[in-house]
């Protein structure tokens, strides 16, 4: 049985020897008296018990989230271009790129994921299980995703075979995409 933990406390990602069945674990104490960190690493760290938070998001779940985001942005940009045409202005490609990148950076920074990710029940976290800092999100969504597109998108496809389901941009920014426990998932009502 999965027992979700409070997401505001974060979750520690498993040590190489502590991962069980692809689940993410949160150590009972954030820091040990001996100077270890939440991952149970550091001088003399002796982690307490752990609680299951969720699993790494699978490749197809991430692809579905991206599809939803693309459809949303395509619709939004179509409306903006129609408005530009009514006003006699020519849409700007640079403006479209800024809006596109801005959406991914802002949504991930503010909410831990885009509308598509949240709709399919996944979010982006850092190594401690918290929302990543703005710098990590910016790196992930700009240089990271640009790098992931090189070589026919192999950086994105890495998530299909990586042990922690990380794409290249996740590895660059030290982020993970995880499932949202059902207690924390946004409700429709």
Mean pLDDT of all residues in 24-53: 36
The reply to whether 135 falls in a domain is yes
Residue 184 — very low, low, confident or very high, per pLDDT cuts 50/70/90? low
Mean pLDDT of all residues in 28-53: 34
The reply to whether 124 falls in a domain is yes
State the helix-helix crossing angle for 93-111 and 59-86, rounded to 10 degrees. Answer: 130
What pLDDT is attached to residue 95?
A: 92
Residue 23 — very low, low, confident or very high, per pLDDT cuts 50/70/90? low
d(CA 169, CA 4): 27
pLDDT tens digits along 107-137: 999 999 999 999 999 999 999 999 999 999 9
Question: What is the DSSP secondary structure assignment for residue 56, as one 8-state letter?
Answer: B
d(CA 131, CA 104): 14
- Of residues 91 and 15, the one with the higher pLDDT is 91
What pLDDT is attached to residue 112?
A: 96
Residues 4 and 17 in one domain: yes
3-state secondary structure of 54: strand
Instruction: Domain count for the chain, please give it.
Output: 2
- Of residues 33 and 65, the one with the higher pLDDT is 65
Residue 171 backbone dihedrals phi, psi, to 5 degrees: -65, -40
Mean pLDDT of all residues in 126-152: 95
CB neighbourhood size of 73 (10 A)? 18
What pLDDT is attached to residue 19?
A: 45
- Of residues 141 and 45, the one with the higher pLDDT is 141
Residues 69 and 132 in one domain: yes
Domain containing residue 142 = 59-179
Q: Which of these, 154, 157, 148, lies nearest to 63 by C-alpha position?
A: 157
- Answer for the pair 44, 32: CB distance below 8 angstroms, yes or no: yes
Mean pLDDT of all residues in 64-92: 94
**Among 55, 74, 101, which residue terminates a domain?**
55
Residues 47 and 73 in one domain: no
What pLDDT is attached to residue 146?
A: 96
The reply to whether 185 falls in a domain is no
Q: Which of these, 176, 140, 157, 188, lies nearest to 10 by C-alpha position?
A: 176
Residues 63 and 151 in one domain: yes
pLDDT above 70 covers what percent of the chain? 67
- 17 Cβ contact list (under 8 Å, min separation 6): none
Q: Is the per-residue pLDDT at 71 higher than 90? A: yes
The reply to whether 46 falls in a domain is yes
pLDDT tens digits along 156-165: 999 999 999 9
Residues 172 and 124 in one domain: yes
The reply to whether 65 falls in a domain is yes
What pLDDT is attached to residue 185?
A: 59
Q: Is the per-residue pLDDT at 3 higher than 50? A: no
């Amino acid at each position: 049985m999965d027992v979700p933990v409070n997401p505001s406390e974060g979750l520690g990602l498993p040590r190489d020897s502590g991962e069980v069945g692809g689940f993410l674990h949160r150590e009972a104490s954030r820091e040990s008296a001996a100077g270890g960190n939440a991952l149970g690493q550091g001088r003399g760290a002796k982690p307490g018990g752990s609680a299951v938070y969720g699993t790494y998001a699978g490749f197809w779940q991430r692809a579905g989230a991206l599809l939803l985001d693309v459809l949303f942005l395509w619709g939004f940009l179509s409306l903006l271009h129609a408005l530009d045409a009514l006003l006699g202005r020519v849409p700007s490609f640079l403006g479209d790129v800024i809006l596109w990148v801005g959406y991914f950076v802002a949504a991930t920074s503010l909410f831990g994921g885009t509308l598509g990710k949240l709709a399919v029940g996944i979010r982006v976290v850092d190594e401690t299980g918290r929302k990543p800092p703005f710098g990590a999100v910016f790196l992930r969504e700009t240089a990271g995703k640009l790098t992931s597109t090189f070589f026919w998108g192999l950086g994105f496809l890495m998530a299909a075979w990586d042990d922690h389901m990380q794409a290249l941009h996740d590895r660059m920014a030290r982020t993970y995409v995880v499932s949202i426990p059902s207690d924390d998932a946004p409700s429709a009502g």
